[in-house]
Amino acid sequence: MTEASIIDGKGFAAGLRERVSRVAADFEAKAGRKAGLAVVLVGEDPASQVYVRNKNKQTVACGMNSFEHKLPVETPEADLLALVEKLNADPAVDGILVQLPLPSHMNEQKVIATINPDKDVDGFHVVNVGRLATGLPGFVPCTPLGCVMLLKDKLGSLSGLDAVVIGRSNIVGKPMAQLLLAESCTVTIAHSRTRDLPAVVRRADIVVAAVGRAEMVKGDWIKPGATVIDVGINRLPPAEGETKGKLVGDVDFASASQVAGAITPVPGGVGPMTIAVLLRNTVVAAHRNAGIGLDENAI
């Protein structure tokens, strides 16, 4: 069997950030201010802190303002809602991201519902979910949009292909399925109640794994030549002599890469795309909200 080609998400993301930087500089010249992204982190989850630090660095590197708000874990929900309202009203803030998961005493849906949909660069607000479902312009969740960008770059048209999405979360699985449907794939959404998951996956020309289970999808589930997109981010327990465990996806890369036509690695696949698309959505939000024209498809 021939080895799959490795889809270089990290490299594609670097190119996307370069295009975003040019558009952000153009925005600054036209608007007389930089585009701005506010990121809100509640609590001290170490993984979330890493993501927020990376987002902040890359936002600034792309020529945009990054406004970081770190709140203690015991912050009352009302205080977080008040901060979101303040960011909604702040003309320097084009995009708002509230890092999930939130502490258990907060209602995530209520917090997301408070974000102005036109600043919802995560695409999580019901208004943006509805816009995506009905084909209206809005904001599309960053991870699924990043996956589709990689797929179209690799395959060109996706029309008529059989796609299986494993996972049905609001932030990855469901919007991923909507985007693949919009690309005219025949879409199956699998989840924990799916019967005979290996057989379902074997039919797919495109497999998107967004489960949160380390190396669950095996090589003998993959149709030869299929394209495999691994969204999973799982930290294995540290091996002897390691302080940190290895980062792995939801796909068993060693076996799947023997069968697939193309596959994303973890790390270096979908993860870097998520942040680059977030920056793309932010610079798009800035143009829309300032009423400055932009060819969004060219980014």
Ligand X SMILES: NC(=O)C1=CN([C@@H]2O[C@H](COP(=O)(O)OP(=O)(O)OC[C@H]3O[C@@H](n4cnc5c(N)ncnc54)[C@H](OP(=O)(O)O)[C@@H]3O)[C@@H](O)[C@H]2O)C=CC1
Ligand Y SMILES: Nc1nc(=O)c2c([nH]1)NC[C@@H]1CN(c3ccc(C(=O)N[C@@H](CCC(=O)O)C(=O)O)cc3)C=[N+]21
Least distance from ligand X to the Cβ atom of residue 145, Å: 11
Spatial distance between the Cα atoms of 49 and 8, rounded to a whole number of angstroms: 25
Q: Pick between residue 159 and residue 192 the one whose CB is nearest to ligand X.
A: 192
Catalytic residue selected from 34, 58, 94, 99: 99
Number of residues that bind ligand Y (CB under 6 A): 18
Q: For the CB of residue 101, give the shortest distance to ligand Y in the complex, in Å.
A: 7
DSSP state string for the chain: -PPPEEP-HHHHHHHHHHHHHHHHHHHHHHHSS--EEEEEEES--HHHHHHHHHHHHHHHHTT-EEEEEEE-TT--HHHHHHHHHHHHH-TT--EEEE-SSPPTTS-HHHHHHHS-GGG-TT--SHHHHHHHHHT-SS---HHHHHHHHHHHHHHS--TT-EEEEE---TTTHHHHHHHHHHTT-EEEEE-TT-SSHHHHHHT-SEEEE-S--TT-B-GGGSPTT-EEEE---EEPPPPTT-SSPPEE-SB-HHHHTTT-SEE--SSSSHHHHHHHHHHHHHHHHHHHHHT----GGG-
The residues in 91-150 that bind ligand X, with binding defined as CB under 6 A, are: 143
Q: Which is nearer to ligand Y, 59 or 99 (CB)?
A: 99
7 marked ligand binding residue: no
Stretch that binds ligand X, among 67-75, 226-234, 255-263, 279-287 (CB under 6 A): 226-234
The interface region with ligand X, picked from 17-25, 74-82, 112-120, 204-212 by CB under 6 A, is 204-212
Residue 144 found at the interface with ligand Y (CB under 6 A):
no
Determine, following the binding rule CB under 6 A, whether residue 193 of this chain makes contact with ligand X.
yes
Using CB under 6 A as the binding rule, whether residue 231 contacts ligand X is answered as yes
Q: Which residue in the set 83, 102, 187, 197 belongs to the binding site for ligand X (CB under 6 A)?
A: 197
Residue 166 contacts ligand X per CB under 6 A: yes
Whether 167 has a binding-site annotation, put simply, is yes
Instruction: Return residues touching ligand Y (CB under 6 A).
Output: 50-51, 54, 97-100, 122, 142, 233, 247, 266-268, 271-272, 274-275
* Residue numbers annotated as active site: 55, 99, 122
Instruction: Return residues touching ligand X (CB under 6 A).
Output: 143, 166-169, 171-173, 190-194, 197, 210-213, 231-234, 270-271, 274
